[in-house]
Amino acid sequence: VYQSAQHVALIGLKEVTLTAAEQTGVDSMTTDEPSYVLSSRLFQPENTIIQLPHSTIGGEQFTMMAGPCSVESAEHILAMAKVAKEGGATLLRGGAYKPRTSPYSFQGMGEAGLKALRQAADATGMDVITEVMDETHVALIAQYTDVFQIGARNMQNFSLLKAVGQTNIPVALKRGLAATVDDLLNAAEYIAANGNHQIMLLERGIRTFDNQYTRNTFDLNAVPVLQKLSHYPVVVDPSHATGEWDLVTPMARAGVATGASGMMVEIHDHPEAAFSDGPQALKPATYLEMCRQIWAIDQLMRSW
Amino acid sequence: VYQSAQHVALIGLKEVTLTAAEQTGVDSMTTDEPSYVLSSRLFQPENTIIQLPHSTIGGEQFTMMAGPCSVESAEHILAMAKVAKEGGATLLRGGAYKPRTSPYSFQGMGEAGLKALRQAADATGMDVITEVMDETHVALIAQYTDVFQIGARNMQNFSLLKAVGQTNIPVALKRGLAATVDDLLNAAEYIAANGNHQIMLLERGIRTFDNQYTRNTFDLNAVPVLQKLSHYPVVVDPSHATGEWDLVTPMARAGVATGASGMMVEIHDHPEAAFSDGPQALKPATYLEMCRQIWAIDQLMRSW
Amino acid sequence: VYQSAQHVALIGLKEVTLTAAEQTGVDSMTTDEPSYVLSSRLFQPENTIIQLPHSTIGGEQFTMMAGPCSVESAEHILAMAKVAKEGGATLLRGGAYKPRTSPYSFQGMGEAGLKALRQAADATGMDVITEVMDETHVALIAQYTDVFQIGARNMQNFSLLKAVGQTNIPVALKRGLAATVDDLLNAAEYIAANGNHQIMLLERGIRTFDNQYTRNTFDLNAVPVLQKLSHYPVVVDPSHATGEWDLVTPMARAGVATGASGMMVEIHDHPEAAFSDGPQALKPATYLEMCRQIWAIDQLMRSW
Amino acid sequence: VYQSAQHVALIGLKEVTLTAAEQTGVDSMTTDEPSYVLSSRLFQPENTIIQLPHSTIGGEQFTMMAGPCSVESAEHILAMAKVAKEGGATLLRGGAYKPRTSPYSFQGMGEAGLKALRQAADATGMDVITEVMDETHVALIAQYTDVFQIGARNMQNFSLLKAVGQTNIPVALKRGLAATVDDLLNAAEYIAANGNHQIMLLERGIRTFDNQYTRNTFDLNAVPVLQKLSHYPVVVDPSHATGEWDLVTPMARAGVATGASGMMVEIHDHPEAAFSDGPQALKPATYLEMCRQIWAIDQLMRSW
């Protein structure tokens, strides 16, 4: 399944018996591990860099992605895009199809939301990242987005992973609430094995016993672990990882300090009236102050 | 969304203001909780009973579901069906579409597997339960199965839940690895809110720190908790909940002793050669001995 | 550290080099694993059986231990002892020194509680099991108890483990909330390595994300796992493992069905007025009905 | 139990009935919550600052604590103290009494280790922090240390908490592997309720399902959460929280970026020969480079 100047990966052989002639060209063999051959540094030591019209993810520069949890109206998403841009974000986030725990919660604006999101991004010179929940939506959403986001609940929706793997649009794969690092890399492998190698990995908190004051446990250890094992850029999401707006700024600082390639953050001008996830949204002034701190830490770290 | 002789459930009202005339007919109001109105005992106190041609789930009788993890061939599934039946199973399980952590693992036989499964069940006088992973497969699988199984990884694949919710085929919903009891009931609500009320809930182990000697932690507490909150039958899966064949029998005994409505178990005549999940499969003789014990405990408990 | 007819266990050798003469007598060597040599079945295949004046733990018979969470008065503990005995319990439990999360909660009656507990047990022909929290209390409590209980929070209080290991009084070691099976067996090894081999292991629930409707997650998988790895009797505690009285009976049934050697349960005639842990205490009538079910399942299982 | 200009905290009153005269002086009453009255910001809004001869914890300055896991010899601890000091540490850590999972592992040098630790700190102008495992050691260790460390396994060893609470030596309380934030604050309350208010809280990783590539999950969310709820300084321990030396530097950066008051880190010149926890120890050069980064981030953050 994989071939480079130095390595060949073969899948599905129960035993490998090399002829004398073949052995001449082989220095060493690794069997069985890791199962995520395309995602592993063993087979691609150099970093994957994702290049979008207005953004680079995985390169020298830290990348900011911001926007409201849900697209709520054309006016609102445009206003939020301007705020996001002012803070230095180059990707605009916003959900048009929302995976909600309860069927009675707001489920998103659908295609009208996609249009509004695209227009807001174009008007401000940003790229779009938005969630795809369903393989039947892939073609539609592809018309509007620069990056597909796969949500935590769908991290092992293998049909969806295969579907986005057959496009040439970059994919941001969110770690599931109970997904190990290996589970996440195997899920990424479903995308890569279908031909799409433009993948970024998002740490957004895992579920543990510690859930009284935060929605999730932010597993920042996973950032350097993933960077060691895989060449894909790693992005952090302090909004979902905490679930509380007043914890977002310190945890965003922690995220950039780990050496992540970027972050995604939720903003809203009236969090108390947000259609979803209001408690974790930053108001514009708080967001801008957070960005100031993030860019300063990023600049310091890149000066070393 | 719900109306019975005693109760009316309304969704989406921010505030409820009753006129004096309306108040006359109202004894009490409950707001906001639980969000899973259709699944809750608050709105349906009596048990849901699912009636299939050869099986009843949720009634007086304990129900056994058995079969191999994957359908491997027509001959093999028929042989396993005979073993399952001999132990007292009335549903035959077997996967034709398999959700696998790695894209390079066996992904199932597809429609040929469905046919073989249906034939084996018909030949032995059993009902079929098989997994649907993908909303685009719903119509196809509906032609072959008596019960849709939704796997743990897809418990919050809301598109899939809506799709099976629009059929009239019973659904067995497996609890996700990090799903709380409320998450599971809200996922069931997606099915019910789309019109399908024939739902059973499967406890199959959750993911915890305790994973050295077992694949998962079998959360049997969830059985009486779910029975208290919801009217849907609760079924246990000691095969996935342990991941080790020699732990299946004691944990199956524990499962029936909690008062669950049924169990699902994996069997295989040559576990070491199974296409998937061999380590947790019971050999026929072990399965039959386990069944003997299960039916004895069930009989004892029903005698009280 | 261990020698039997077939096995010798040596600790602390970095490398083992046997002379030719020594090799003659050696069939095989196992290095490094398991670290809990005295607790392992590898070195003692046969079950440990603990014999007390009125009880046997680990033998053919299931053992019931019951009583209130705290000793509250001489009258109350005697009344509870009579109820416990009536249900078939042969050990009376009750705390005189209580480990409480908050320093402002009731901390136990101390020595007066021990005396009352001993008198109640003697008056009803039962054995005493009570918690020791502190190595400085070991000598005092030894005068009153038949079994030392080590609580979950002290499972790795190594000074305490050493102290009870130097007595000849049996020890009931409760699994910690985040203790793996190996952690528990290594903690038991601290007791055994100090000379006390009369140990029983208590599964009483672990801490997981699933804590809305139950205080802990009852890890019943651990019962057969511990029985496979170790020769010590395994006892279950459905009171702490659920934290809710109405879940205790089904989970007690599950516990005996796994094949555990015994169970410990909390009872109280007025749970709402209990000094501690009232919500999980069974009222006498509920306890007696639970016992009836437990003994029936036990009898059935022993008939096989 | 607590009285300040604005607040009075009363414990143990079932109901509070104020006379008319008393009501005159009362603005508001809070009942039951939080149970950790002395530790809560509700009763002491201002930060606790711990002043030692060579260090301040909780003030304006970030505090570095470094040293080997175990004191191994007088020469070794002195060499490590010099390295620690060179990186900017003002506290020297080192264990003389070691809580080890297995009874057969190295248990520490005991009092000889304490003497060597004290001499090394005095020779380099540093303060000492060392673990106390046992209330019977409190008086002895008090002769040698500036700060008592309570380990994660002893976080709810209430006898030990009371014993150090009766001294006037500052206490560093490590969070247990399954301790919630409330559990940690209630444990701190045991110390405070016994009269010792010089407490710092250490986040050192919790136990979750994610344990393949790291020993624990570093719960950095807990830093701002604890700072919001309590006035005690919060310190992070990236060595135990990761268990892998090559993850320590990025996670140390994350720790300082959250706004913690200090960090504790393990160093060793020959990790492969360390008596304990070698895999997580930083070699001197790596430690010094990490310190350079930590101080730079600290300086940046204090410039805002």
Q: In this predicted model, what pLDDT tens digit does every residue of B202-226 receive, in sequence order?
A: 999 999 999 999 999 999 999 999 9
Residue D154 near residue D134, CB atoms below 8 Å: no
Helices vs. strands in chain C: H and E counts, helices first:
10, 12
Which pLDDT does position A35 carry in this prediction? Answer: 87
Q: pLDDT-derived band of residue A142, with 50, 70 and 90 as boundaries?
A: very high
Question: In angstroms, what separates the C-alpha of C140 from chain B's closest C-alpha?
Answer: 36
pLDDT higher than 90, residue B189: yes
DSSP string, D86-152: HTT--EEE-BSS---SSTTS----THHHHHHHHHHHHHHT-EEEEE---GGGHHHHHTT-SEEEE-G
D188 falls within a domain: yes
Q: Which of D41, D220, D261 to mutate to test the interface with A (most CBs of A within 10 A)?
A: D220
Put simply, the answer to whether A257 touches D300 (Cβ < 8 Å) is no
Q: Which residue among B12, B102, B156 sits closest to A189, beta carbon to beta carbon?
A: B102
Kindly state whether B193 is in contact with chain A, defined as any CB-CB distance less than 8 angstroms.
yes
Q: pLDDT-derived band of residue B101, with 50, 70 and 90 as boundaries?
A: confident
Find the residue in B nearest to A182 (Cα): B101
CA distance B84 to B88: 7
CA distance A215 to A239: 10
Quote the distance between the C-alpha of residue C177 and its chain's center.
14
Kindly state whether D207 is in contact with chain C, defined as any CB-CB distance less than 8 angstroms.
yes
**Average pLDDT, stretch B264-282?**
95
| Residues of chain D contacting C190 with CB distance shorter than 8 Å | 103
Which pLDDT does position A9 carry in this prediction? Answer: 62
C18 falls within a domain: no
Residue D111: how many CB atoms within 10 A of its CB? 15
Q: pLDDT-derived band of residue D35, with 50, 70 and 90 as boundaries?
A: confident
CATH of the domain at C231: 3.20.20.70
Give the dihedral sign, CA D204/D205/D206/D211.
negative
Q: Which two tokens stand for residue A142?
A: 């592809």
Q: Which residue among D134, D176, D182 sits closest to C159, beta carbon to beta carbon?
A: D134
CA distance B262 to B149: 14
Kindly state whether C218 is in contact with chain B, defined as any CB-CB distance less than 8 angstroms.
yes
Count chain A–chain C contacts defined by CB atoms under 8 A: 8
Which pLDDT does position A257 carry in this prediction? Answer: 98
D11 falls within a domain: no
Which pLDDT does position C34 carry in this prediction? Answer: 84
CA distance A281 to A271: 6
- The two beta strands, C2-3 and B262-266, are unpaired
Q: Which two tokens stand for residue A211?
A: 């859930």
Kindly state whether D42 is in contact with chain C, defined as any CB-CB distance less than 8 angstroms.
no
Q: pLDDT-derived band of residue A17, with 50, 70 and 90 as boundaries?
A: low
Question: In angstroms, what separates the C-alpha of C298 from chain B's closest C-alpha?
Answer: 10
pLDDT higher than 90, residue D34: no
| Residues of chain C contacting A207 with CB distance shorter than 8 Å | 209
Put simply, the answer to whether C135 touches D134 (Cβ < 8 Å) is yes
**Average pLDDT, stretch A269-275?**
95
Kindly state whether B209 is in contact with chain D, defined as any CB-CB distance less than 8 angstroms.
yes
| Residues of chain A contacting D182 with CB distance shorter than 8 Å | 212
ipTM beyond 0.85? yes
B14 falls within a domain: no
Share of chain A above pLDDT 90, in %: 85
Buried b (16+ CB within 10 A) or exposed e, A157-192: bbbbbbbbbebebbbbbbbbbbbbbbbbbbbbbbbb
B36 falls within a domain: no
CA distance A113 to D122: 66
CA distance C52 to B152: 46
Question: In angstroms, what separates the C-alpha of B65 from chain C's closest C-alpha?
Answer: 20
Count chain C–chain D contacts defined by CB atoms under 8 A: 82
Kindly state whether A259 is in contact with chain D, defined as any CB-CB distance less than 8 angstroms.
yes
CB neighbour list of residue D154: distance below 8 Å, 6 or more residues apart: C156, C157, D99, D133, D160
Residue D43: how many CB atoms within 10 A of its CB? 20
Angle at B243 between CA B241 and CA B248, to 5 degrees: 75
Residue B169 near residue B183, CB atoms below 8 Å: no
pLDDT higher than 90, residue B33: no
Q: Which two tokens stand for residue D235?
A: 């310190």
C112 falls within a domain: yes
Within chain A, what is the greatest distance between any pair of CA atoms?
Answer: 71
pLDDT higher than 70, residue A192: yes
Share of chain D above pLDDT 70, in %: 89
**Tens digit of each residue's pLDDT, chain C (304 residues):** 555 555 666 665 555 566 666 666 666 666 667 889 999 998 899 999 999 999 999 999 999 999 999 999 999 999 999 999 999 999 999 999 998 989 999 999 999 999 999 999 999 999 999 999 999 999 999 999 999 999 999 999 999 999 999 999 999 999 999 999 999 999 999 999 999 999 999 999 999 999 999 999 999 999 999 999 999 999 999 999 999 999 999 999 999 999 999 999 999 999 999 999 999 999 999 999 999 999 999 999 999 9
pLDDT higher than 90, residue D1: no
pLDDT higher than 70, residue A247: yes
Put simply, the answer to whether D250 touches A180 (Cβ < 8 Å) is no
| Residues of chain C contacting B242 with CB distance shorter than 8 Å | 221
Q: pLDDT-derived band of residue D62, with 50, 70 and 90 as boundaries?
A: very high
Q: Which of A221, A249, A298 to mutate to test the interface with D (most CBs of D within 10 A)?
A: A221
CA distance B219 to D45: 42
Kindly state whether D212 is in contact with chain C, defined as any CB-CB distance less than 8 angstroms.
no
| Residues of chain C contacting A211 with CB distance shorter than 8 Å | 209, 211
**Average pLDDT, stretch D259-274?**
97
Question: In angstroms, what separates the C-alpha of A159 from chain B's closest C-alpha?
Answer: 6
B108 falls within a domain: yes
| Residues of chain A contacting B158 with CB distance shorter than 8 Å | 99-100, 103, 133, 153
Angle at B186 between CA B182 and CA B187, to 5 degrees: 115
Interface of B with C in 145-174 (CB under 8 A): none
- The two beta strands, D171-174 and D199-203, are parallel
Q: pLDDT-derived band of residue B53, with 50, 70 and 90 as boundaries?
A: very high
Residue A117 near residue A143, CB atoms below 8 Å: no
Domain count, chain C: 1
Cα–Cα distance list, C124 to A177, C91, C291 (Å): 52, 10, 18
Owning domain of residue B195: 50-302
Q: Which of D209, D210, D215, D216 to mutate to test the interface with B (most CBs of B within 10 A)?
A: D209
Say whether B143 sits in a helix, a strand or coil.
coil
Q: pLDDT-derived band of residue D13, with 50, 70 and 90 as boundaries?
A: low
C14 falls within a domain: no
Put simply, the answer to whether C208 touches A211 (Cβ < 8 Å) is no
Kindly state whether A11 is in contact with chain B, defined as any CB-CB distance less than 8 angstroms.
yes
Residue B130 near residue B99, CB atoms below 8 Å: no
What is the crossing angle of helices C284-302 and C245-258, to 10°? 10
Say whether C248 sits in a helix, a strand or coil.
helix
